Amino acid sequence: MPTVSEYVQRQWGDRRTGLRYGDLELTHHEIAAGAAARAALLAELLPRGVEPHLGVLLDNTPEFPLWLGAAALAGAAVAGINPTRRGPELARDILHTECRVLVTAHAHLPLLDGLQLPGVRVVVTGTEEYARLLAPFEGAKPGEVEAAAGPVGPASRLLLYFTSGSTGAPKAAICTQGRLAAAGESLVTHFGLGRDDVHYICMPLFHGNAVIANWAPALVAGAGVALRDRFSASRFLDDVRAHGATYFTYVGRAVQYLLATPARPDDREHGLRIGFGTEAGAVDADRFAERFGVRLVEGYGSSEGGAAIQRTPGTPAGAIGRAAPGGDLAVVDPETGRECERARFDGAGRLLNGGAAIGELVNRAPNPFEGYWRNPSADAERRRGGWYWTGDLFYRDADGFLYFAARTDDRIRVDSENLAASMIENILARWEGVTGVAVYAVPDPVTGDQVMAALSLREGLDFDPSGFAEFLSAQPDLGTKMAPRFVRVLAGLPVTATNKVRRGVLREEGFWSGGPVWWRPPGAPGYRPLTPADVPGARGLQGRGNRAISHARSASEDGAGGAGAA
């Protein structure tokens, strides 16, 4: 099994352009040389006898992939540090992953003010001191540095990347060199990527999506990489054209942000041919293909590597695909461990047996999950009964195609019926003028849940309650219990640093936390403004979120976990 270190070494002597960042261009050879110099510096900076871990607190600048390559050569592991974290949470991430070196930039130094980081050496890129530290190693070659933890092999740790969660501190998932190289090889084969491709990386490199699904296949294929500090919808096409990008990955609402930009006559004048990611939704994917001429491929892969779904020709609309090779995926009742019924649909595509068909996706086969750093309880939760439990709810049709329903952390159960929040979101996304949709549960004052939808609209548009009700009545695949009882209109949905909608925040805010709320009284045909008198006890439910809901096979949340490996 090859290693990432070996792929970095293969760049040596390749004089083609390998990295683009604004006006800066580096050849593959210069990338390998830069990684080798940093690997040698890292060997000097890391104290003996400690875990060879370094934290990288950077935007998507050239230093980030250079330090990824350096860690691979040095047998060290990179913990991607999220710059949106603050104070004790930020310090906790650095100390939990036992980083003895923290690479950052001058712009992020204020984040470290007042933090207690004992034993952590902070290295600031772009400074005179940084140049002095690197100078002695300018002639280093890949493979010359003695690895910090013995010979580099497929089992050498390379990534400690934090997975997002709705409760508790983020968990640092382990990814070895062998797993990352294998992921890159799989995507190269699946998409036919090659040396002439240019991978546009606009998703943050501190997250698994950008490294696993974009940087790794570029490294394996010998393709070029074009970096953008942070995702920018307004600069996206300009970057794609300027760098000749052909492939990109997306997470969360990035596609919706791009579709919300003003249409231009030259929207199809570029070389981009494929986007790979998750949570775009069938409606937005079709709109993206129609407007930009680019096919979006939705994928699913748990960030931890324990389960993957592969889209193949013939995958029905709305489905993600079937189990990837080597997987034995099943949809099971988490209370009994028994496999759920296969999904049944009516002629309009409505799921008829959600209560019996929706369950948690598990992988019953040996899988590459490599655990969490210093978190045995989380490891045990994932590996219950010898299976890998994804924490995601799915349903499966008679032909074996898998459909995402929800995260297990956010559930919707209306009148004893389990609903698939992702299905409702895809329907609501058809309404003209909507730029973002999040569907989640709010507790019913009597029992169970009610469906609430948070909508963001195009600038200058106001919510039209009668028009929205007419739209809902015209959707043939919207079940009677799926129509939102409550609609909250926001200027923008709360998102994470990777543009995933923070449904947990919306859920915890309940009914009365900003933005007008409309509701449809039982039996009423339309919506009207919600007042405290309309929902007895609603104020008391604020902040309760969905903690009162106990049934494990209801549905909602952030969309397919593909962020990770998507």
pLDDT by residue (tens digit) across 428-478? 999 988 999 999 988 776 667 889 999 999 988 999 999 999 999 999 888
pLDDT attached to residue 170: 85
Q: Give 176's contacts (C-beta < 8 A, 6+ positions apart).
A: 154, 155, 156, 157, 158, 370
**Cβ pair 412, 404 in contact under 8 A:** no
**Cβ pair 566, 248 in contact under 8 A:** no
Token code pair at residue 179: 């797993």
Q: Give 29's contacts (C-beta < 8 A, 6+ positions apart).
A: 11, 12, 13, 14, 15, 18
pTM of the model: 0.80
Domain ranges in the chain? Answer: 4-224, 299-411+558-563, 420-541
pLDDT by residue (tens digit) across 376-403? 999 999 999 999 999 889 999 999 999 9
The topology under which CATH files domain 299-411+558-563 is: Luciferase; domain 3 (2.30.38)
pLDDT by residue (tens digit) across 513-560? 667 899 998 878 899 998 877 765 443 333 333 332 222 223 222 222
Residue 341 half-sphere exposure toward CB, CA atoms < 13 A = 10
Least confident of 39-48, 91-100, 141-150, 374-383: 141-150
pLDDT attached to residue 540: 38
- Structural class in CATH, domain 4-224: alpha beta
Q: Is the pLDDT of residue 4 over 90?
A: yes
Write down the mean pLDDT value for the chain. 88
The topology under which CATH files domain 420-541 is: GMP Synthetase; Chain A, domain 3 (3.30.300)
Highest mean pLDDT among 281-295, 406-420, 443-457: 281-295
pLDDT by residue (tens digit) across 158-180? 999 998 654 467 899 999 999 99
pLDDT attached to residue 404: 87
Find the helix packing angle between 63-74 and 28-45, rounded to 10°. Answer: 60
Q: What 8-state DSSP symbol labels residue 150?
A: B
Q: Give 220's contacts (C-beta < 8 A, 6+ positions apart).
A: 7, 181, 184, 185, 188
